[in-house]
Structure 1
């Protein structure tokens, strides 16, 4: 399992990505709705490499009664690394984080990484389609406070190729979300292109014991 996660984290090169070849066109961004993960009750084996530290353990994502999503990352012994809350309308709460990770830049990066994966409604407003004139890819583009979130699909919007969080000039984060099963993602790989901050997740099972 460890080698699978490592392979997810090294699938991207560190080269900058240019978006100059993209052209805006008409298209329905709601075709992405079918790719929204079901994180109502999900458990992942997780590895995080950040600020020179390697952390591994279990990441629990659970839908709460108020429609927010709670995310708790702890080791196998139950020691918590962080405990976050994501509100559907964009609110974010840090319930707990270890001192070694309690830095504004780290927390902001984790928040943005997981918001794009969870396809938070507030971050998917004012979207539009851009076409890759050099290939058959669609870039569903969502402006953010700084830069853009891109959901990249094939021409028919049948397969989600990857996600990118980008400045105006280049990708700063590239994400693979692999193998949907009953609405759940089997594997997720998050790679930062400008510094050593990588996350790999491998689904274990639903909390109720079903696969």
Structure 2
């Protein structure tokens, strides 16, 4: 990759802006010899006071967690079930959603690199002992990668982004070290309910 001058470009033009988004969510993974699966509905909602909530519920309305970011992007756990209330799980989910929503990025550390494939641009941010890449192909956000010092930690593939600031139709979080995935598929029919 070759670093290029910013010329006024920034990854923040891909930061999602929304009032309410609803996704069908599937979590699949493996821990030791056990497999696990969790499914439900994930709501992203911006409140009138500027806070953003991510609420994950099953189809019957039982809430697994309710996370909140205030106007300054500070994270807060409003509620979480006991099985998920582990520091490593909360930290991982916070990082996932921060990457997707482009929260807690150090804008002063942003660097732009041209990818090997001509049209691919990589917007790189320093991120707590590693880096976050927002990879844009032909003017559209294609994926987000978080890498540690030696290898990738998370890959977030985004598909069906109809505009720069629109939440994508499909999101797939692949955790390379933790060995689990989170799949999100936008539900258009229920957004107004």
TM (normalized to structure 1)?
A: 0.79
Q: Specify the alignment match of 1:37 in structure 2.
A: 16
In 1, the alpha carbon distance for the partners of 2:19 and 2:8 equals 23
Which consecutive segments of 4 or more residues in structure 1 shift more than 6 A?
Answer: none
CA contact (8 A) 1:29 1:140 kept: no
Distance of aligned partners of 1:130 and 1:29 in 2 relative to their CA distance in 1, 3 Å threshold: farther
Aligned residues: 184
Query: Of 107, 115, 121, which aligns to 1:125?
Result: 107
1:153 equivalent in alignment to 2:132: no
Distance of aligned partners of 1:28 and 1:87 in 2 relative to their CA distance in 1, 3 Å threshold: farther
1:204 equivalent in alignment to 2:187: yes
Q: Where does the alignment leave 5 or more consecutive residues of structure 2 unmatched?
A: none
Q: Specify the alignment match of 1:12 in structure 2.
A: none
How big is each residue's C-alpha offset from its partner over 1:118-137, in whole Å with a ceiling of 9 and x where there is no partner?
112x31512111233x3322
In 2, the alpha carbon distance for the partners of 1:199 and 1:47 equals 6
CA contact (8 A) 2:153 2:175 kept: yes
CA contact (8 A) 1:48 1:198 kept: yes
TM superposition shift of 1:167: 0.9
Distance of aligned partners of 1:81 and 1:179 in 2 relative to their CA distance in 1, 3 Å threshold: same
In 2, the alpha carbon distance for the partners of 1:49 and 1:25 equals 38
Q: Specify the alignment match of 2:28 in structure 1.
A: 49
Q: Specify the alignment match of 1:86 in structure 2.
A: 69
1:113 equivalent in alignment to 2:96: yes
TM superposition shift of 1:23: 3.3
Alignment of 1:98-109 (within 5 A): 98-109=81-92
Q: Which protein, 1 or 2, shows the higher relative CO under an 8 Å CA cutoff with sep ≥ 6?
A: 1
TM superposition shift of 1:28: 4.5
Q: Secondary structure at the match of 1:65?
A: coil
Alignment of 1:185-204 (within 5 A): 185-204=168-187
In 1, the alpha carbon distance for the partners of 2:49 and 2:105 equals 19
TM (normalized to structure 2)?
A: 0.86
Q: Secondary structure at the match of 2:155?
A: strand
Query: Of 3, 13, 27, which aligns to 2:6?
Result: 27
Task: Name whichever structure is richer in helix by fraction.
Answer: 1
In 2, the alpha carbon distance for the partners of 1:202 and 1:54 equals 16
CA contact (8 A) 1:29 1:128 kept: no
C-alpha RMSD over aligned residues? 2.0
